[in-house]
Structure 1
C-alpha cells in the first residue's frame, strides 16, 4: 500500500510515523517548502495526544524540548483569578500536557521520520497542486517543484491532505469554498526569554470581553535564577481599516505597533507588556478558521488536521487533534484491506467529534469564563463565588473536555490506537 501525505507539519509527520509503526511500508511526505525550518511559536499538546506520541516512543525525546504544564488559570483584566485547574498528570491523566515551541516539535518529528522511514521519506520543494482518481482505485497526484522550476506526477493508493488551513487538497475537493473566514479579531504571537512566573509551569489566560492574553513557559530555567522560553499571544478586535488578504502565520511585526493595546495587562505576578516589549520574535495574523465540511473523504483522498478542521486557538486543540487524526487514520489503513473503506472509517470516527469542537471554539470554548466574568463583574470582584455560583466553573471546563473525548477517564481507559501485531509487517 502506497500513501502520499501532503504537508510536513505536525499532523502530516505524525501520520507518517504512525503508518510506519502500523506496518505500512510505502509512505512519502510531500512538503512545499524547500527547507523545513523550526518556525512558529508555542503549542500546547493535551494528554490525549501526548499519549499517542508516547505510544510512538517519542515522549522521552519530547521531554527534552518541552515543558510539562502543571496548571491553567483564567484571570480577569485586573489580574484576579477566576478559575484554576491542574493539567496533565496533576489532573489525573497518565500522560502530561506539554508546552512546546512548534519548531522544536516539528524538528523532533521530522528527524524521527527520516531516521525510521529513510532519508528520502520527506520530499521538500514538492507542493501538491492537483490529483486525478484512477480506475484501479488509486490516485495520480500532480506536484509542483517551485524552487526547481518543474512539475511532476506520481501515483499512490491514497492521498492524505495534511497541508494546513490553506490546503490545496481541500481546495481541489471544494473549489468554491474561498479563503478562510475571519471573525474580526487579530492575534499577535511571539516568544520571549523571561524569568518564570507563578510556579514556573503555569499557563494563564487573562483579559476581558475585548482583549485576551495567553502566556505559558515552554522550557525550564537555563540555570539557577535564569530565564525560560515563554510563549505569549494577545488578541483584540481589529481596527476598522485593518485588511488581511492572506492568513500568513509567519508575518513578522514590530512589538511597538500593537503593544499599546495591552499596556494595562501588567499584574504583580506577570507583566504581559514587558514580555511583548522584549520579544525575540513577534507575528500577526487574523483569527480565522474553516467552516465544518460535510465530508473529508472522497474515494482514495482525505483530509487531516487543519486541512480538515482548522479552528480558533481555543482549548489547545489544533495540533492535539491533528495528532489524534493521524493515529486513527493509520490504524484504519493498517487494518483495512483497501484504502477507500479505511479512509471512510477514519472520517466516520473523527468528523463528528471535530465538528463539535470547531463549534465550541467559535463560542470561545472554556475561555468563555473570562467573558462571563467581565459581563457579571466588570470592575472586578472580592469573591469569585459570588460571580460564579455553585460548580458552574468546573462544569464549563468538564463539559469542554467531555465534548472532545479528552477527559481523564476517557483518555486513561480507552483502547490503544496502536495496531496489534496481527496486522502484519510492512505492506
Structure 2
C-alpha cells in the first residue's frame, strides 16, 4: 500500500511512525519547507499522547527533552488560587505528561522517521498542492500514484481546501495570543503549569527545559485585540514585548512576576486565536485528513498536538485491522466534541466563573465556585478529550504487532 502524507509536522511524522509500526513500509512525507528546523515555543503532551509515543518506542527520548508536568493550577488575575490538580504520574496515570519545546519534539519525531523508514521518507521543499484520482500533486505537478493520501498539512491545508473549496479563512474569536520563552526562576512545584485570568485576559506559564540552575519557561499571554486579526494561522509573526508587558504590568504575584517573565524573553510571537469549523466528513475516496487539517481547535486544555498523535495511531490501527471508515468513526465525533468544548473555554471556564462571581477577588474560593463544581468541570473535560485516567489506563493498546 503506497501512502503519501502531506506535511511533516507533529501529526504527519507521528502518522509515518504509526503506519510503519503497523506494517506499512511504503510511506512518503512531503514537507513544503526547504528545511525542517526546531521552530516554535512550548506545548504540552497529555498522558494519552505520551502513551502512544511510548508504545512507538520513544518514551526515553521524550523524557530527555521534556519536563514531566506535576501540577495544573488556575488562579485569578490577582494570583489567588481557584483550582489545582496533579497531572501525569502524580495523578495516577501510567504515563507522564510532558511540557516540551514544539520544535524539539518535531526533530525527535523526524529523527525516528529517518531511522526507521529511511532518509528519503521525508522530502522537503515539496508542497502537496492537491490530488487527482491517480496522482498526488506536488508543487503543482503530478508526482506519484498513491493508495492513500493523508492531509496532515495544518490549518491552511491544501488537501482540506480541495475537499471543501468554499470554506474560507479560519474563523477568529477576537482574542490574540502572544507566546514566548524566558529563562527565569522556578515557581510553585518547579513542574507546575499555571493559568491566571480575569475573564478578559489570561497568562499561562510552565517550564519546558532546565539548564543547570536556570529554568526555561514557556509563556502565553492572551487578551482581546482591537481591529481585525492579521495573518490568521501564522504562528511566527514577531510581537512587541513592550506592548505585551503594558497589558500585564501589575500582574505580580508572590510566586510569579509576570511582567519580568515577559520582559525577559528573547523574542515573542503573536497570532489570533483561530480554529476551524467541525467537518461533516474527513475522508473521500483515497484521501483523508489528520491533525489541524481535520480539526484545528483553540489552544485550550493542551490538546492540539496530542490529538494529532491520537489521530495517527488510530488511523494506522484502522488501516491494519479494519478500514479507513473506522478511523473517521472513532476520531471525528470525538474531536468535534473537543473543538466545541474548547470554544466554551473547556476546563479554563473556572477562571471566568470566578471572575464573574467575584470580579474584585475573593478569600475563600469555596464560597465562589464550590469544589464539586470545579471538580466536575475538570473531570468532564478529561472525558471529552479522552484522558480520563481510569479509562486511559485500562484501554487496550492501538498497537497492531
With the shorter chain as reference, the TM-score category is over 0.9
1:245–1:102 distance in 2 versus 1, CA, 3 Å = closer
| Equivalent-residue separation in structure 2 for 1:308 and 1:10 (angstroms) | 14
| C-alpha RMSD over aligned residues | 1.1
Question: 1:92 is matched with which residue?
Answer: 92
Among 200, 209, 213, the alignment partner of 1:219 is 209
Among 142, 154, 166, the alignment partner of 2:156 is 166
Question: 1:423 is matched with which residue?
Answer: none
The reply to whether residue 409 of structure 1 matches residue 399 of structure 2 is no
Cα deviation code 1:292-331 (max 9, x no counterpart):
0000000110000000000000001100100000000011
Residues 182 and 265 in structure 2, CA contact (< 8 A), matched pair in contact too: yes
Among 301, 305, 317, the alignment partner of 2:303 is 317
Runs of 4+ in 1 over 4 A off after TM superposition: none
Question: 2:349 is matched with which residue?
Answer: 368
Q: What TM-score do you get using the length of structure 2 for normalisation?
A: 0.98
Deviation at 1:380, TM superposition (A): 1.0
Deviation at 1:194, TM superposition (A): 1.1
Among 363, 369, 376, the alignment partner of 1:388 is 369
| Equivalent-residue separation in structure 2 for 1:29 and 1:273 (angstroms) | 42
Q: What TM-score do you get using the length of structure 1 for normalisation?
A: 0.92
Question: 1:238 is matched with which residue?
Answer: 225
1:390–1:97 distance in 2 versus 1, CA, 3 Å = closer
Question: 1:228 is matched with which residue?
Answer: 215
Question: What SS does structure 1 have at the residue aligned with 2:57?
Answer: coil
Residues 193 and 280 in structure 1, CA contact (< 8 A), matched pair in contact too: no
Question: 1:203 is matched with which residue?
Answer: 193
Question: 1:379 is matched with which residue?
Answer: 360
Question: What SS does structure 1 have at the residue aligned with 2:119?
Answer: coil
Aligned pairs, how many? 401
Unaligned 5+ runs, structure 1: 135-139, 146-150, 337-341, 421-427
| Equivalent-residue separation in structure 2 for 1:227 and 1:198 (angstroms) | 15
Residues 161 and 170 in structure 1, CA contact (< 8 A), matched pair in contact too: yes
Deviation at 1:188, TM superposition (A): 0.3
Question: 1:12 is matched with which residue?
Answer: 12
Deviation at 1:390, TM superposition (A): 4.5
Residues 253 and 284 in structure 1, CA contact (< 8 A), matched pair in contact too: yes
Of 382-391 and 308-317, deviating more is: 382-391
Question: 2:264 is matched with which residue?
Answer: 278
| Equivalent-residue separation in structure 1 for 2:369 and 2:385 (angstroms) | 24
Residues 11 and 152 in structure 2, CA contact (< 8 A), matched pair in contact too: yes
Question: 1:120 is matched with which residue?
Answer: 120
Cα deviation code 1:13-72 (max 9, x no counterpart):
000001111110100100000000100111101000100000001010111110100000
The reply to whether residue 183 of structure 1 matches residue 186 of structure 2 is no
1:24–1:408 distance in 2 versus 1, CA, 3 Å = same
Cα deviation code 1:164-189 (max 9, x no counterpart):
00101000100000010000000000
Residues 2 and 148 in structure 2, CA contact (< 8 A), matched pair in contact too: yes
Deviation at 1:268, TM superposition (A): 1.3
Residues 94 and 393 in structure 2, CA contact (< 8 A), matched pair in contact too: yes
| Equivalent-residue separation in structure 2 for 1:185 and 1:26 (angstroms) | 42
Of 97-106 and 403-412, deviating more is: 403-412
